[in-house]
Amino acid sequence: MDKKAIGFLDSGVGGLTVVKQAMKQLPNESIYYIGDNARCPYGPRPAHEVIAFTWELTQFLLKKDIKLLVIACNTATAVALEEIRQRVDIPVIGVILPGSRAAIKNTDNGRIGVIGTEGTIKSGVYEQTLKAKDPTIQIASLSCPDFVPLVENNQINSSIAKKIVYETLQPMTKLNLDTLILGCTHYPILRHQIQNVMGEQVILIDSGAEAVSEVSTLLDYYEIAAHYSHRQSREYCFYTTGAKEPFFNIAKEWLEVNDLNVQEVRL
Amino acid sequence: MDKKAIGFLDSGVGGLTVVKQAMKQLPNESIYYIGDNARCPYGPRPAHEVIAFTWELTQFLLKKDIKLLVIACNTATAVALEEIRQRVDIPVIGVILPGSRAAIKNTDNGRIGVIGTEGTIKSGVYEQTLKAKDPTIQIASLSCPDFVPLVENNQINSSIAKKIVYETLQPMTKLNLDTLILGCTHYPILRHQIQNVMGEQVILIDSGAEAVSEVSTLLDYYEIAAHYSHRQSREYCFYTTGAKEPFFNIAKEWLEVNDLNVQEVRL
């Protein structure tokens, strides 16, 4: 039993989709979250930069004394997970393996789509992970560089969002996919629009939600889950490298909580 | 990537319910299984004896060079998991935490039943585990000492089995439970009879099946999952300390495989 917080990091607000699942599935746990909104999006950045930024966010959370770290960002998981794991001595969980596992479990026709940022798609990490488990799986990958800015600018329900999601995903609708991995933690915020374009027959895999099941397993495995008695004093703290106001507004709406503790930080 | 086998141990044939799930969920993996049929059941034995026997089975599997060990027996998990974990340097997974997690996730009315052997129920481990996560959960526990012999003697579909299951479970049917943990890996073999007595509204949690999801997570986390290319050469080997014939018959029927490699061993 360990009442220390779980740390979550992301390039911006996308990791809040993972936090929402964690608040639901792990109600005894404290959560510290940092979003690097000042430098978002990570998708188009070179790998060495994403690794450097991810390490800065990790160090910030380590100073807060966390017991487990979730890299709640697909781009950062794709390029930095291995390196961060080697550098720290707490368990570190990414979002790509859990999403891949869930997709393979779900597919009936063996045709899986992956959408993500340019960085994630270019890394080929979902293809490698899926193919290592089953090379007969057919995979279609598509980068959607306009989705993260839509979410970060809180334009989710705008007509421009509908148009962009529709036009971007058109090529994916003709491939007879039965499973689509939302390979970016920002995308569940656009879930409704994505499902509309893809059709109800396509199951959307939320890589972040799957990652939280993995967190739950590892907390038990390492015997570091918080006790029920810690629930009373659990803490939710949110930090952003950007401006407090827009982060607060998106977080409040997405997490459906009014009194959020959000602080601006300089790394 | 690691093509070494996963080891499973049980007091008898009960762990085959876990193996069946593993064969389905982890088709690239090799499996070594040992059932201590000669000394089954473990349920009524004192803790020190169960620990000693479990350690003997573990040593047998370690000599076969396994990469991960599943204690596919609730009684052995209840009393020996911690000690075995301390003695070996590969990941060791029990069946109690995964089952507890799944039960808490499933319950709506907070009323969970647990059935198991005398050893498991007497240890109070399910109560402790469930209460640590949520002390508001109401738990009813019942030991069912006659169930394991029914399964080991392959009397599953006999009228005596129906009668015993009916009479044993009567007290549990009046408690308004919405979730029942099958806290013994033998019990899924009696699933149909148990469901009939409890009613369709009660969800049965198969602790072994839940454990296999944990195995899958840890194989990925430790990067020791087998590659698809290993599927061709995967091995299923079954060992029993008892007689080959009855083990073979139960295993063939339960796993729905005709050509099983079963060997008698002396520990």
The first and second tokens of residue A57, run together, are: 């966010």
| Average pLDDT of span A247-261 | 92
Q: Per residue in A210-233, pLDDT tens?
A: 999 999 999 999 999 999 888 889
Determine, for residues B220 and A101 on separate chains, whether the beta-carbon distance falls below 8 Å. Answer: yes
Residue type, A69: L
Paired tokens of B230: 């290993």
Annotated binding site of A: 10-11, 42-43, 74-75, 185-186
pLDDT at B89 (0 to 100): 94
Catalytic status, residue B184 = yes
User: For the ranges A7-11, A22-26, A33-37, B195-199, which has the lowest average pLDDT?
Assistant: A22-26
Q: Is the pLDDT of residue B258 over 90?
A: no
Q: Cβ of A213 and B217 within 8 Å?
A: yes
Cβ of A228 within 8 Å of Cβ of B133? The answer is yes
Closest residue to B214, CB basis, from A101, A135, A217: A217
Asked if B133 and A216 come within 8 Å (Cβ–Cβ), the reply is: no
pLDDT attached to residue A9: 98
Please tell me the CATH code under which domain A96-207 is placed: 3.40.50.1860
Where in chain A are the domains?
A: 6-94+209-264, 96-207
Q: Is the pLDDT of residue A252 over 90?
A: yes
Rg for chain A (alpha carbons), in Å? 18
Tell me: pLDDT of A70 over 90.
yes
Output the pLDDT for position A176.
96
pLDDT of residue A117: 93
pLDDT in tens, B95-113: 999 999 999 989 999 999 9
**CB neighbours of B248 closer than 8 A, spacing ≥ 6?**
B260, B262
A180: left (phi over 0), alpha (psi -120 to 50) or beta: beta
Please, what is the end-to-end C-alpha distance for chain A in angstroms?
31
Distance CA B97, CA A68 (A): 19
**Which residues in chain B are contacts of A225 at CB distance < 8 A?**
132-133
Residue type, A137: I
Whether residue B237 lies in the annotated active site: no
The CA distance from A214 to A211, in Å, is 5
The CATH fold assigned to A6-94+209-264 is Rossmann fold (3.40.50)
What's the first-to-final CA gap in chain B, in angstroms? 31
Q: Residue B170 in contact with residue B176, Cβ under 8 Å?
A: no
Please give the pLDDT value at position B208.
87
Contact between chains at A1 and B132 (C-beta distance less than 8 A): yes
Q: Known binding site for substrate: residues of B?
A: 10-11, 42-43, 74-75, 185-186
pLDDT of residue A87: 97
One fold for both A6-94+209-264 and A96-207? yes
How many whole angstroms separate alpha carbon B62 and alpha carbon B224? 16
Q: Which two tokens stand for residue B188?
A: 């899924």
Cβ contact A198:A169 at 8 Å: yes
What pLDDT sits at residue A256?
92
What's the CA gap between A29 and B51, in Å, rounded?
Answer: 33
As given in the structure block, the two tokens for residue A204 are 């959307």
For the segment A140-194, what is each residue's pLDDT rounded down to a tens digit?
Answer: 999 999 999 999 998 989 999 999 999 999 999 999 999 999 999 999 999 999 9
Average pLDDT, chain B: 94
| Nearest-Cα residue of chain B relative to residue A81 | B221
Nearest by CB to A221, which of B131, B216, B218?
Answer: B218
B72-92 burial by CB neighbour count: b if 16+ within 10 A, else e?
Answer: bbbbbbbbbbeebbeebebbb
In chain B, whose CA is at the least distance from the CA of A27? B133
Query: Residue B212's closest chain A neighbor by CA?
Result: A217
Which residue bears the tokens 């499996």? B31
User: Is the torsion defined by CA of A124, A126, A132, A138 positive or negative?
Assistant: negative
